[in-house]
Chain A
Amino acid sequence: MNELRDLARQLLTDGTVRVIIGWEDGRRGARPVFITDPADADKLIFDTRCAHNLVTYLDPRRDDVVNLGRIGIVVKGCDAKAVAGLLREAQVARDDVVLIGVRCGGVLEEAELREALELNADNVAPRCYGCDNREPALVDYLVGEAQPEPPRPTMTIDERVAALDELPLEERWAFWSEQFSKCVRCYACRQVCPLCVCELCVADKTRPQWIEPAAHARGNVSWNITRALHLAGRCVGCGECERFCPVGIPLTLVNRKLQEIVAQRFDYVVSDDPEKPAPIGDFRLDDQQEFIK
């Protein structure tokens, strides 16, 4: 942690960045913090409660943040992939951010705690298991001690998806329509997602209106399908959408299924290399088409 704090202090003092976005301890647990004064660098922490993907604050529409000047941001592996996504889509310029990578061993599923807990099969966020980016490469600095792999959760996220896949069609529909009917259309999932940066989201479009805004099940199914599809090949699996959902819709399962589909169909896995093009928007002449008559 001292390594992180010293680095942050240094970057602020010598003017490399105008603000550091990291995590601090709050009354209810770890939370994002914006540090502009080098003296405040000691507030920075990193532990298993730091589930927040801070890259959401790099959204180019956030004038508050953009106007602060060059930003230093602390990123875990999944977060770094999100930065790569924004770079890939020319939403952020590489020179406008300084990336401080942290070596990560996973985060808690239930992260809002006063004290950090050591990870085990029963408290680790299932999405962390099997992470391929625990020492993010895209970064300008890499701090922190080497961390062990995230423990295998009682039920991995792939096992959960597989369990749903094995259900008969009607039961799957019953499950998902029930889950989506809980949606209150607060759009927390969209707001917190680091890759959801469209100037005008299709859900807000009124001429014409493709997605019914009312929070009935029909409108909700349309929204949730669209959200997921628009992230196909882009979602980094940080799980923030699910964490922020006030009504507990298991969005990581939806996102994970789409990651599987994209991997199987296009042999593509999201990485933190901004040069690698995203699968949707790209194509190959020999793409699979067995479903087309």
Chain B
Amino acid sequence: MTDSTDTRSERPVSERCFISEAGLRDLTADLLESGTEVIAPVAEEICASPSAVASAACRMPGETPVEIEYRRLTDAAELDVSRGLPVLSLKGFFLPEHEALFCWEQRGTTITIKPVPTTFAPRVVLAAKPCDSAALEIVDKVMNWGHEDELWNGRRAATTIINLTCPSIDESCFCTAVDLAPDSTKGADGLLIPVEGGYLFEPSTDRGREFAEAHKRHFASGCGGEEHRNRQAEDERAAARTRVAANLEIDAASVRDWIDTHFEDPLLAALGARCNGCGACTSVCPTCHCFDIIDEQTGVGQGTRRRCWDGCQSRLFTLHASGHNPRDTQGARYRQRLNHKFAIYPLKFGEVLCTGCGRCTRVCHAGQDLVEILAAIDVAARRPGTTTSPQEDGGSSAAPPAEEQVAS
């Protein structure tokens, strides 16, 4: 498996600079003081309330009272470096759950449109999960397909993202199976690798280098030295990759081709049985990006047009104005999710629309397990005689082959 995120051989060791834990917090404090928005994982009480009584009433037994979320920091002390997985991905900072596109006001026959700004103040994401940053680069493709999405692009252009190597989370992670890694810098500008006393920082883009340069007083001088730290960093990364790889290994290309040519296969149809169509998976997913556009009338002659997250697992997603619904069963909708992520998007953009973060599996309380599902498809794909002839070059065809689909 070619790993384009393997920075070990490409990045000169001299670019790796050490920053202590305290140094990282000081850097964060500096950013905040200069008025820069800093987004980072924060440990939050699920049942936070100014009222202790309300907090106690809300917290259910066995529940970890604290969960991690990406938040805009108000103080450097909030920065959580425990490397747990935030509940929601970074997606919401680039494609918010709901965002105004413009406001309108109508007086008589005069309509005034007030557009929202499409340029954004520079901001920094610290200690991002590699699966979350990689998702942004993957979604960049569709956000610039045909039409360039100014709000998405504006936010992307304004944001410097520094990843923090992931230790792997649990048995539902599978980033390595989709050509990523716990130390990937795809979609990001640099990587922090935990070592004794702090982190080694490796910039991976010019913006990352500028970031290091701008904050160099927080880094130890003489970057690239200290053999034992370099070794620790390599060991850390290798161990994490091994842990994740143990969860799932698939041939993403043959999975793609199998899904593409087995639309009517009973295996795909059966996978949606448990699914409730609740949409939790699409909400927590870092690469799901479908949105709906709604008009909110907030008063006589005034309103706001917003876009807000939508999900393909809802029955309404493909409901036509005529009343016809081409995906009228949960089986069809769930099949669509797999199809879009692992076949359609890769065929169209050359990227799997999934970063293996495992959130969908963890959040599905009906027991839908993407690791299990992908493993099953991989097995079917590799079984001789069950595949129709796949694309010659797999990744570059624009249109999927004709399916043996009958009208349903």
A touching B, CB within 8 angstroms: yes
- What residues of chain A have their CB less than 8 Å away from a CB belonging to chain B? 26-34, 52, 56, 61-65, 108-110, 112, 121-126, 153-155, 159-161, 163-164, 166-167, 171-172, 174-175, 178-179, 184-188, 191-192, 204, 209, 212-216, 219, 240, 242-248, 250, 252-253
- Does more than half of chain A's interface fall in helix, strand or loop, or is it mixed? mixed
Residue of A109, A163, A244 near B63 (CB, 8 A) is: A109
Q: Tell which of A61, A123, A126, A175 touches B49, judged by Cβ atoms closer than 8 Å.
A: A175
Closest to A250 in B: B58
Which residue from A31, A186, A248 sits with its C-beta under 8 Å from B278? A186
Query: Hey, what's the 0/1 contact readout for B277-315 against A, CB within 8 Å counting as 1?
Result: 111101110000000101010000000001011010011
Is B280's CB under 8 angstroms from A244's CB? yes
Known: A164-B53, A215-B309. A188 touches B280 (CB 8 A): yes
Are the CB atoms of A31 and B50 closer together than 8 Å? no
The stretch of B114-122, B184-192, B359-367 that contacts the partner chain: B359-367
* Known A32-B367, A64-B330, A125-B60; 12 more pairs at CB < 8 Å: A26-B369, A109-B61, A123-B61, A125-B61, A186-B278, A186-B283, A214-B98, A215-B98, A219-B98, A243-B365, A247-B88, A248-B63
What chain A residues lie within 8 Å of B246 (beta carbons)?
none
Q: Is the CB of B280 within 8 A of A153?
A: no
Interface residues of B (CB under 8 A from A): 46-51, 53-54, 56-58, 60-63, 67, 87-88, 97-98, 171-172, 272-274, 276-280, 282-284, 292, 294, 296, 306, 308-309, 311, 314-316, 328-331, 361-363, 365-367, 369, 371-372
Is there an interface contact between A246 and B62, defined as CB atoms closer than 8 Å?
A: no
Q: Are A27 and B58 in contact (CB under 8 A)?
A: no
Contact B367 A26 (CB under 8 A): yes
| Contact residues in B for A63 (Cβ distance below 8 Å) | 328-329
Q: Across the interface, do B366 and A108 meet the contact criterion of CB distance under 8 Å?
A: no
- Verify B278–A188 contact, CB threshold 8 A: yes
- Distance in angstroms from B170 CB to nearest chain A CB is 9
Contact check, A164 vs B57: say whether CB atoms are below 8 A apart. Answer: yes
Smallest CB separation, A37 vs chain B (Å): 12
Residue of A nearest to B55 (CB): A175
Set B51, B292, B328, B365: member contacting A174, Cβ < 8 A:
B51
Query: Which one of A28, A155, A166, A250 has the highest number of Cβ atoms from chain B below 10 Å of its Cβ?
Result: A28
Give the chain B neighbours of A124 by CB distance below 8 A. Answer: 61
A44 to B54, CA, bound (A): 39
Shortest CB distance A22–B (Å): 12
CA distance A134 to B254 in the complex (A): 50
> Do A248 and B329 touch (CB < 8 A)?
no
Task: Please indicate the chain A residues that have their CB under 8 angstroms from the CB of B47 in the complex.
Answer: 248, 250
Contacts of B51 in A (CB 8 A): 167, 171, 174-175
**B366–A52 CB distance below 8 A:** yes
Residues of A within 8 A of B361 (CB): 28
Cβ 8 A contact of A246, one of B87, B294, B308: B87
**Can you list 16 A-B contacts (CB < 8 A)?**
A27-B372, A32-B367, A34-B274, A63-B329, A64-B329, A64-B331, A109-B62, A122-B62, A161-B57, A163-B57, A179-B58, A185-B97, A185-B309, A186-B283, A186-B311, A240-B365
Contacting residue for A28 out of B306, B329, B369, CB 8 A: B369
Instruction: Determine whether the beta carbon of A108 is less than 8 Å from that of B365.
Output: no
Complex Cα spacing A34 to B365, Å? 16
Pairs A-B, 6 closest by C-beta atoms: A31-B367, A188-B278, A110-B62, A214-B98, A160-B57, A191-B278
Residues of B within 8 A of A154 (CB): 61
Q: Complex Cα distance A210/B361, Å?
A: 33
Q: Are B330 and A62 in contact (CB under 8 A)?
A: yes
A178 partner, pick from B48, B296, B306, B330, beta carbons under 8 A: B48
Contact for A188 among B171, B276, B315, B331, CB less than 8 A: B276
A contact residues around B306 at 8 Å (CB): 214
Q: Which of B273, B283, B314 contacts A64 (CB 8 A)?
A: B273
